[in-house]
Structure 1
Amino acid sequence: MRQLLLFFISMVTFSSLDIHTAIVASTTRLAQKLDCNNAQTQSDINRCAQLSYQSADKKLNQAYQQLLPKLDRSRKQKLIAAQLAWIKFRDTSCEFEKSEYEGGSIAPTIYFGCLEKTAKQRTQQLQEYLQSDP
């Protein structure tokens, strides 16, 4: 009975060490700076595409937030409706674009690339509205 107990304790200790090792390894990986100019793995490329999209989306939201207060109530409501429709279009269009690579490791890069491209296009449109609106 005592040997069984010692065996069980040693197994728990080894399991704990394995978990600790895995946590340290993943933390170390996260702590390494992601070099998007020289991404080496598909996982890194996917993450860089996501970060690039997030940057473009932030600029889009800034342009949108700058435009909203400049519009009268009626135009503001129309912009909000247009933006909601655009978001639905963007998401559906990018899902379609990604579907060609469904199940492949490159699919996230395709998806985030599409999101980034459409966000940049929409940002340009909003900036044009900002320049032309009195």
Structure 2
Amino acid sequence: MRQLLLLCASMASFSCLNIHTVIAASKIQLAQKLNCNNAQTQLEINRCAQLSYQNADQKLNKLYQQLLPKLSRSRKQKLIAAQSAWIQFRDASCEFEKSEYEGGTIAPSIYLGCLEKNTKQRTQELQGYLQADL
């Protein structure tokens, strides 16, 4: 009976905590422990893959925003259409690549790695456009 009362008391004190505070604290703890050069668990590998892809995506978007104002109206519209089609293709292609591992814990890192690889390739293409005589 005493153990049940202790359990209820601890649950009551936990329920008083703001769930966002608990989530934020766990994210901070994960970020502090995360070493992408030596990820030990699949969760860490997936999180590192996510961070790596986000970094590549930020570089792509920055370059894209630098390129757009340098183009004529007609070419700008064509690049916007091409970029939209490329994003759809990239995402569908990476979904296909991930499908081999569907349901497995490695599937997210396969998908994110594919996104990163394709995003870096597209960044190089846009860099070439930016450096070319427009």
Q: Normalising to structure 2: TM-score of the pair?
A: 0.84
Which amino acid counterpart does residue 106 of structure 2 have in structure 1?
I
Which amino acid counterpart does residue 121 of structure 2 have in structure 1?
Q
Distance 1:130 1:32 in 2: 38
- Pair 29,93 (structure 1): closer, same or farther in 2 beyond 3 Å: same
Range with greater deviation from structure 2 (87-96 or 8-17):
8-17
Distance 2:72 2:131 in 1: 16
Which amino acid counterpart does residue 13 of structure 1 have in structure 2?
A
SS in structure 2 opposite 1:102? coil
Which amino acid counterpart does residue 92 of structure 2 have in structure 1?
T
Q: Does 1:38 align with 2:38?
A: yes
Q: Does 1:14 align with 2:24?
A: no
Which amino acid counterpart does residue 99 of structure 1 have in structure 2?
S
Which amino acid counterpart does residue 80 of structure 1 have in structure 2?
I
Unaligned runs of 5+ in 2: none
Unaligned runs of 5+ in 1: 1-6
- Pair 77,90 (structure 1): closer, same or farther in 2 beyond 3 Å: same
- Answer with 1 or 2: which has the greater Rg: 1
Q: Give runs of aligned pairs for residues 1-134 of structure 1, distance below 5 A.
A: 12-17=8-13, 23=22, 26=26, 29-30=29-30, 32-134=32-134
Distance 2:27 2:75 in 1: 48
Distance 1:11 1:49 in 2: 39
Across the aligned residues of Structure 1 and Structure 2, the Cα RMSD in angstroms comes to: 2.7
Range with greater deviation from structure 2 (35-44 or 10-19):
10-19
Which amino acid counterpart does residue 73 of structure 1 have in structure 2?
R
Deviation at 1:33, TM superposition (A): 3.3
Q: Normalising to structure 1: TM-score of the pair?
A: 0.84
String of CA shifts for 1:21-74, please: whole Å, max 9, x gaps: xx4983663352310000000000000000000000011001101100000000
- Pair 133,117 (structure 1): closer, same or farther in 2 beyond 3 Å: same
Deviation at 1:102, TM superposition (A): 0.4
Range with greater deviation from structure 2 (26-35 or 99-108):
26-35
